[in-house]
Amino acid sequence: MGSRTPLYDKHIAANARIVDFGGWDMPLHYGSQKEEHHAVRRHAGVFDVSHMTIVDLAGRRVVEFLQYLVANDVAKLKDHGKALYTCMLNADGGIIDDLIIYFMADTGYRLIVNAATREKDLAWIRQQAVDFDVAAEERAELSMLAVQGPKARELAAGCIDAGFRDAALALKPFTGVQAGDFFIARTGYTGEDGWEICMPAADAPGVWDCLLAAGVAPCGLGARDTLRLEAGMNLYGTDMDESVSPLEAGLNWTIAWEPADRNFIGRKALEAQRAKADNRRFVGLLLEDRGVLRNHQKVVVEGFGEGEITSGGFSPTIDRSIALARLPAGDYERAKVDVRGKLLNVRIVKTPFVRNGEIRIDTVGETQ
Amino acid sequence: MSELPGDLLYTRDHEWLRREDDGSVTIGITDHAQHALGDLVYVELPEVGQVVSEAGEMAVVESVKAASDVYAPISGEIVEVNEALADDPEKINSDPYGDGWIVRMEPSDSIDEDTLLSPDDYQEFIDELDD
């Protein structure tokens, strides 16, 4: 038996199929992964993401510390509640984890890191924090729900304290607000609008019941994966890990190169890599033939070499197979993928594949 | 889960077989299998005329989650494939023993029932898996 979130009994009651995810017993789906996927694109769905790790940092030098710890620059967070997506790198520029940082108070920041990397992340953060007198407190007593979809905020608003409703509904994308014991942010991992809500564990079952009663669909890790893939969002441990830098994971935009004198961990290695001309491309693929692209399938680019699919699957919104892949450097638009010995045709497309319910890629393409 | 059809034979790889009046055998995957796979999105079918041997790979069913091989429960020649699955693979989810059939085969030998499972034996087999 793995760890269980405070909503485990709710998942069982909703007929969840439970799977192990990084040591946690989590819902994979509640009947149909595809229906859950569509619910988020068209209406609203709720994910229990209480397994994710919440770490609150406090200390007089916390800004200085974070400017050293991560590749993006927390100086961009000018107002309380603002969020920043970033990678935490090792000295070689390899990605230890990706995380979201919220600016909570003048000397306080909240980090949300992945569940599967909890122990190494906490150890790394605390090791680096010593020189800055920054305290890192894990908030394991908090639960987290992600309510996502075009109707998510409207429906979830009825499930939070009325006194904070207006403030929560007024949130701009990628900002959050402390609402009593709750922290509500307009963020997510699906490519749809919505909220991620941190709350005391005791409150989570009530909020869950309220959301379901309001018509929000319970959604499992399966739909979470197909939604984030369509949204072109990386999954740690699949699309990137410590052997890959943000430059080869499509995350150049998360690196703050300026100011040039900010010394963050991994900077030297990244600068050396940036100067090279043969860095691998990280791209979206659309399968033009019938079939399904899967993680680790080999991609063959004639004249350029070989690469690999890092995340592949079926896109319920596009009704075709899509993937994220790391491919050899070069200027080309087509490739082939080895699917059980057959070479199928794929076209390189710009991610996201889907955003706010709309297909963003050209699914027809030019005929060969 | 629904009751198993009593007129079929089953395998430990979760295929079912129906012996047709003309001597051919229709093959699909069980309700237990489709349930475990989840929403099906693609089926790779063999060619009509292809000869397959018992336990050999015969088709591939892919769900949103994963790809899974379908093995030939008997040796023989493929005489018909369910073309409707190309556009509607989810027929396997909605009607695994009916519209979701996968292939029809002409067996090369008489069917050895001892290597296959009766409905009761298959039920017992999946009950043990679920424990």
Which tens digit of pLDDT belongs to each residue from B89-105?
Answer: 999 999 999 999 999 99
Chain A contacts to B (CB-CB under 8 A): 28-29, 32-34, 37, 222, 226, 290-292, 294, 313-314, 316, 321, 340
What's residue A31's pLDDT? 94
Q: What is the mean pLDDT of chain A?
A: 96
Instruction: Kindly state whether residues A41 and A182 are assigned to the same domain.
Output: yes
Residue A216 has a pLDDT of: 98
pLDDT tens digit string along A172-200? 999 999 999 999 999 999 999 999 999 99
Q: Name which of A226, A290, A291 is nearest B64 (Cβ-Cβ).
A: A226
**What ipTM is given for this predicted complex?**
0.87
pLDDT tens per residue, range B38-76: 999 999 999 999 999 999 999 999 999 889 999 999 999
Instruction: Give the residue carrying structure tokens 């830098």.
Output: A245
Confidence of residue B12 (pLDDT cuts 50, 70, 90): very high
Of B38, B42, B86, the CB nearest to A292: B42
- Tell me the DSSP string of A224-291: HHHHHHHTT---BTTTB-TTS-GGGTT-GGG----STT---TTHHHHHHHHT-S-PPEEEEEEE-SSS
CATH number at residue A300: 2.40.30.110
CATH topology of domain B29-130: OB fold (Dihydrolipoamide Acetyltransferase, E2P) (2.40.50)
Q: Is the pLDDT of residue A366 over 50?
A: yes
- Domain boundary, last residue among A213, A230, A247: A230
Query: For A29, which of B38, B41, B62 is closest by C-beta distance?
Result: B38
Considering the domain architecture, whether residues A23 and A150 belong to the same structural domain is answered as yes
- Give A217-252 pLDDT, tens digit per residue: 999 999 999 999 999 999 999 999 999 999 999 999
* B77 touching A (Cβ < 8 Å): no
- Minimum mean pLDDT among A203-207, A276-280, A300-304, B109-113: which range? B109-113
Which residue is listed with tokens 């949300």?
Answer: A112
What does the pLDDT read at residue B131?
Answer: 65
Q: How many CB atoms lie within 10 A of CB B128?
A: 8
**Which domain, by its residues, includes A185?**
8-48+141-230
Is 60 exceeded by the pLDDT of residue A368?
no
Asked if the structure places residue A95 within a domain, the reply is: no
What are the pLDDT digits (tens) for A130-144? Answer: 999 999 999 999 999
| Mean pLDDT confidence for A9-22 | 96
Q: Domain for residue A273, yes or no?
A: no
In a domain, A275, yes or no: no
As given in the structure block, the two tokens for residue A255 are: 């690196």
Name, in order, each residue with C-beta under 8 angstroms of A266's C-beta and a sequence gap of 6 or more. A71, A89, A90, A91, A92, A93, A94, A245
Gap between the Cα atoms of B65 and A220, Å rounded: 12
Q: Strand B67-71 vs strand B51-52: parallel, antiparallel, or unpaired? A: unpaired
